Each structure stands twice: as C-alpha cells, then as structure tokens.
Amino acid sequence: MSEDSGEKTKSATPKKIRDARNKGQVGQSQDLSSLMVLAVITEVALTLAEDSLQTLQDLVAFPLHRLAVNFTRALEETLAHAGSVLLSFTLMTVGLAIATRLVAGWIQFGFLFSPEALRPDPNRLNPVNQAQQMFSGQALINLFMGLVKAVFIAAVLYLVTLPALGALVSLVNSDLPTYWRGLASLFRHIMHTCLAVLLVLAIVDFGLQKYFFAKRLRMSEEEVRKEFKEMEGDPHVKMHRRNLARQLVAQSAEPEAKPVEEADMLVVNPTHFAVALRYRPEDAALPQLIVKGVDAEARALIERAKAARVPVIQCIWLARTIYREDVGAFIPRETLQAVAHIYRVLRELDDEAKDEVIEIPELDRR
C-alpha cells in the first residue's frame, strides 16, 4: 500500500454526507444565524419604538395612580403589572429569536431534525480534542474574523455616531417623545450600517464554514472503496481487504471500449443513452464503464445486450450521469449506492427475468 493511501483527498460521498447530516453535522455559519436574529429583533424593536415609549410611560405612572391605595396592595398591583409587561416583552423576543433561528437554519441547510445530535458526546469534553480545535486552522480563521468584525463595528460607531452627537445634544431641551424619536432614528441608522457590514462578513463566514465542513468530511481512497463494498453487500471480507491494497488504475485518455457482451449490465435511458458496466473485484475496486452509446449506438447496444442475455436496466438519471464519464473510468461517487442496489437486485432475479428490460422506477440518487 502506498504511503499516501490514507490521505483524505477525496470529496465525501453522498452517503457520508447523509450520515453526517443524520448526526446533526452540517455546514453552517453561526454568524449568519445570529445576524438574522439581531436584524429581525432590531427591526421589530424600532417599529414598536413609539408603542414602547408609551408602555414605559404607563409603567412609570402606574405607581403614582396607586398612591391612594393600601401600600401592600399597591405594591402587589405594581409588581404584577410590571411582571406582565416584562413577560410579554420576553415572550415576544424569545419567540422571534427562535423562529428566526429556525428560518436561518432552513436557509443554510434545509429542514433537519436530528435527535442523535442531542445525545451527550464524551469527545466534546476531551481536553485533547478541545486543545486541537483551539489551535486548528478553522479556529484561527474564526479568531481573525472576530477581530475584523470588531474593527468594522468600531469604525461604524465612530463614523456614524460622531457626526450625530451634535444633533443629539441639541435635542436635550426638547420633550421626551421628540428626544426618543431622535434617539431611535440614530440607533436605526447605526444598526442598519452595522448590519450591512456584518452581512458581508457573515456571507464570507458561511463560505468558509462550508469549506471547512467539506474538508472535515474528506475521505481516503480506502474509505471510498470500503463504503462501496459495504453498500454492495460483498460478504468476502478477505477479498475486500486485498482490494483495499490496490490503487485505482490510472485511466488513459481514450481507452479501448470492450464488447457489451462482457458487461454485467446495460443501463439505458431508455433508448437515447446506454452505458455498460463491468465489475471484477479481482481487477478493480469499483465498477467500470466499458462501453457507451447514444441514439443509434445506444439502440444497437441494447439489441446486442439482449442477444447476449446481458441484463438491461432502465434508469434515466443513472444512464445520463454515467454517460458523462469516459470509457474505462470508474462510476462516479454519486452513483455508488444506486449501482450497488442494482447488483443486489440482479443477484436475486432468476435468469428468465433478466431477459426482459428491468425498470426500477423507485431508484433515486441515494
């Protein structure tokens, strides 16, 4: 086995991405989610600024209206009123935050419910793992992004607030509603500017998190081979281990096509595309495309396959996807599960059933 056989240079297969998703592991930006929550709560707060001022005035005036009432009773009523105001504000804020956080997650990675992600993970408490994460490339970039955000926010506060201080000071002699509106207007201007800057940084962070997530899921050639073996259901473990020791055969630019009669199956679409697959564990780790055709060539391949009793499988997306590969190439990763499923189906069918075109409509991009 070569020294670099364990290097994770291959992109994750759909199965590994799906397994990670089932565990709640997805590429997402916490900055983007937090920014959306902040933006929604800020806009709602600014929209309700006038009503909030009136509520605050009523809350301050409420004890004054209870001066003629017994002190104990007045205190209870005041606390109850203040508690109801605080509770309504808290429920609204928390509700908006939760709803916005769910929407932000849906935008980034779609709907996801993963009970497995709620289970305690001892690795999260491992100090060695924590130390490695603290000094990882991702942690350093996150630290750098945090510093950049702090600098930008400080610059925005300086450039926006300083020119407005004079106008704000001039409002000191005005009434409370006027001063409140001026303060809300300044706050709105500051927040909109900060949110615009943070949005750009959040989009950059989203791209970085997607990149780091894809990097964490990278696979070695051994892992790709092993995954296909598991999906194909090969019981010969020793043969599987021997195959892991072999490197992927270097593909020539234009390898010579082999006869369709040597194929294990012919995948069609249903008459426009035809691709013949051949899988020999002793020669290669994955099924190979040995011949392909389009239109008239495809129809000729179908006739030859039927004459040679080679199973003809009708699957539109699979035929089109594999057809894009060169003759002699291994099947692409996104087709691993589908091809493995077909091999299992063929093993279960009798010879007479294989003489007819086999349609598998439920086959999808799994």
The model's pLDDT over 68-83, given as tens digits with 9 standing for 90+, comes to: 778 788 788 888 888 8
What percentage of residues in the chain have a pLDDT greater than 70? 82
Domain count, the chain: 2
Has residue 209 got a pLDDT over 90?
Answer: no
More confident position, 24 or 81: 81
- Dig out the tokens for 158 from the structure: 């300086």
Q: 57 and 193 share a domain?
A: yes
Domain-located, residue 85: yes
Cβ within 8 Å of residue 111, ≥6 positions away: none
From the list 260, 364, 356, 267, the residue with the least C-alpha distance to 319 is 267
Instruction: Give every CB contact of residue 230 below 8 A, 6+ residues apart in sequence.
Output: none
Q: Which long-range contacts (CB under 8 A, 24 or more apart) does 79-85 make?
A: 85/55, 85/59
Smallest CA-to-CA distance from 265 within 252, 256, 274 is with 274
Q: pLDDT tens across 147-180, in order?
A: 988 898 888 888 887 877 777 777 777 777 777 7
Give the list of residues 6+ apart from residue 14 with CB closer than 8 angstroms, or none: 333, 334, 336, 337, 365, 366
**Same domain for 314 and 345?**
yes
Based on the domain organization, do 62 and 203 belong to the same domain?
Answer: yes
Per DSSP, the three-state class of 206 is helix
Report the Cα 257 to chain-centroid distance in Å.
Answer: 39
Please report whether residue 2 resides in a domain. no
Regarding whether 188 and 54 lie in a shared domain, the answer is: yes
What is the three-class DSSP state of 20?
A: helix
Beta bridge partners of 330: 288
Determine contact, residues 274/268, Cβ cutoff 8 Å: yes
**pLDDT of res. 207:** 87
- Same domain for 174 and 245? no
Is 366 a domain residue?
Answer: no
Q: Please tell me the chain's helix, strand, coil percentages from 3-state DSSP, rounded to the nearest 5.
A: 65, 5, 25
Residue 221 in any domain: the answer is: no
Its domain, for residue 19, covers: 12-216
Please indicate, yes or no, if residue 3 is contained in any of the structural domains: no
Residues 6+ away with beta carbon under 8 Å from 333:
10, 11, 13, 14, 224
Alpha helices (H) in 110-248, listed in sequence order:
127-134, 137-170, 176-216, 221-232, 237-244
The residue from 216, 237, 254 where one domain ends is 216
Query: Do residues 282 and 175 share a domain?
Result: no
Q: Do 50 and 128 share a domain, yes or no? A: yes
280 and 321 in a single domain? The answer is yes
Question: Is the CB of residue 328 less than 8 Å from the CB of residue 252?
Answer: yes
Residue 248: is its pLDDT beyond 50?
no
For 330-363, how does the pLDDT look when each residue is reduced to its tens digit (9 = 90+)? Answer: 999 889 889 988 888 888 887 766 677 788 765 6
DSSP-derived secondary structure for 271-323: TSEEEEEE--TTT-SS-EEEEEEETHHHHHHHHHHHHTT--EEE-HHHHHHHH
- What's 304's domain CATH number? 3.40.1690.10
Return the structure tokens found at 212: 């780091």
pTM of the model: 0.52
In-domain check, residue 323: yes
Q: Which residue has the higher pLDDT, 278 or 214?
A: 278
- Residue 249: the pLDDT is 43
Same domain, 54 and 133: yes
Q: Do 147 and 274 fall into the same domain?
A: no
What tokens appear for 362 in the block?
A: 């439920």
Q: Do 299 and 339 belong together in one domain?
A: yes
CA-CA distances (angstroms) from residue 128 to 123, 124, 125? 9, 10, 9
What are the tens digits of pLDDT across the range 317-331?
A: 899 999 999 888 999
Whether residue 5 lies inside any domain: the answer is no
Mark whether 180 and 305 lie in a shared domain: no
Please give the structure tokens belonging to residue 42. 């800020």
Cβ atoms of 320 and 274 closer than 8 Å: no
Residue that terminates a domain, selected from 189, 216, 243: 216
| 289 in any annotated domain | yes
pLDDT at 250: 43
pLDDT confidence of residue 129: 61
123 sits in which H/E element: none
Q: How far is CA 84 from CA 45, 90, 294, in A?
A: 18, 10, 72
Name the domain boundary from 197, 216, 235: 216
> Residue 270: its pLDDT value, please?
80
Task: Specify the pLDDT at position 48.
Answer: 80
Q: Name the residue among 8, 7, 14 with its Cα closest to residue 231.
A: 14
Number of H helices, E strands in the chain: 13, 5
* In the block, residue with structure tokens 């007819």: 356
